[in-house]
Amino acid sequence: MSFKFLTRLVSAAAIGFAAMTATASAQTYPDRPVRLVVPFAAGGSTDIVARIIAAKMSEILKQQVIVENRAGAGGNAGAAAVARSAPDGYTVLMGTVATHAINPALYVKMPYDPVKDFAPVSLLVNVPNVIVVNPSLNVKTVKELIDLLKANPDKYDYASSGIGTPLHLSGALFESMSGTKMVHVPYKGAGPALLDVVGGQVKIMFDNLPSSIGQIRKGGVIGLAVTTKERSPAAPEIPTVAESGLPGYETYSWNAIFAPAGTPQAYIDILAKAGAEAVADPAVKARLADLSAVAVGSTPAQLADHVKAEIAKWGPVVKASGASVNE
């Protein structure tokens, strides 16, 4: 028996053993709790969505999926912590449009690469934004708003939850696509911003639909249009921006699971399947719908494509807005 033949035989055996080990490991994964890091404070929309889905995934995986809030730096602190975690399938991130598309263009120094440092698992939900205005503005459609703004450049303010947030940049994208000019008024959160729009101190806001839907129904603000391609099942009476005066406009928030780069594909597939099953569950879907969140449950490959498209979309918007965070 030649030395070359023996070498090939040993190599083949090693590969076979590694494959058998990986298969056996996948059959037992997960055998302890999985930590789902939410990079924002408890009580926010991302946290609420994460807890609803985590509870169902715990049932499916037969192991606890424990939500851990790790807020800071617009989501960067929690995302960076996951990127640095062991790629063993037991620490994953509930990522968003902020952590994986906006922040890389907004922050001068990023503690992670949104593509290279993560393994996509599943896009779980999309959450529409909505354009709301104070009734005193006397506009009821997007076209009327655009006409008013074009006739009065830089006269009207719009509120957002802060500089560089998805809501701020939704307004910036609107200005860019409609050829209008407004004055951005950043707040420390969407709640106080909406209160000032209801009170009339600021006339316009780009908000998450779940945050504004109550005031829209009470008449505190007028919901001109949702920002997704299709109308929201939670408020089907509100048209889309695209159908009501600005074709091609689309923004929304989203929540997706990411694992650290290098996590075994078998583990990623198990998590993706559990996430998709969780958001497809009728009870979970109904609870998400109450929050105006639309269930998706994508494959890892679909999430990878989604992130690349979102980075390409939001990078130029951030640059055009002039927003920058030096941290």
Q: What is the pLDDT of residues 263-316, one digit of tens each?
A: 999 999 999 999 999 999 999 999 998 888 899 999 999 999 999 999 999 999
The pLDDT of residue 10 is above 80 = no
Note the pLDDT of residue 43: 79
Distances 143 to 140, 154, 183, 227, 265 between C-alpha atoms, Å? 9, 17, 19, 14, 48
Residues 72, 81 contacting (CB under 8 angstroms): no
Q: What is the pLDDT of residues 231-245, one digit of tens each?
A: 998 899 999 999 988
Distances 10 to 6, 14, 19, 24, 302 between C-alpha atoms, Å? 6, 6, 14, 21, 38
Note the pLDDT of residue 163: 86
The pLDDT of residue 24 is above 70 = no
Residues 182, 175 contacting (CB under 8 angstroms): yes
The whole-number average pLDDT for the span 187-192 is 84
**Position 44 confidence tier, pLDDT thresholds 50, 70, 90:** confident
Residues 279, 35 contacting (CB under 8 angstroms): no
Note the pLDDT of residue 5: 47
Share above pLDDT 90 across residues of the chain, in percent, rounded to a whole number: 71
Instruction: Please give the DSSP secondary-structure letter assigned to residue 154.
Output: T
Enclosing H/E stretch for 151? helix 142-151
| DSSP of 215-266 | HHHHTSSEEEEESSSS--TTSTTSPBTGGGT-TT---EEEEEEEEETT--HH
> Which two structure tokens, joined as six digits, stand for 258?
């990411």
Residues 195, 252 contacting (CB under 8 angstroms): no
> Which two structure tokens, joined as six digits, stand for 259?
């694992």
| DSSP of 63-119 | S-EEEEE---GGGHHHHHHHHTS-SSSSEEEEEEHIIIIIHHHHBSS-SS-TTTTEE
What domains can you pick out in the chain, each with its CATH number? 32-127+253-321 (3.40.190.150), 128-244 (3.40.190.10)
142-151 and 166-178 are packed helices; what angle lies between their axes, rounded to 10 degrees?
A: 70
More confident residue, 111 or 164: 111
Q: What is the pLDDT of residues 214-233, one digit of tens each?
A: 899 999 999 999 999 889 98
What's the chain's average pLDDT?
90
> Which two structure tokens, joined as six digits, stand for 166?
């998805």
The pLDDT of residue 22 is above 80 = no
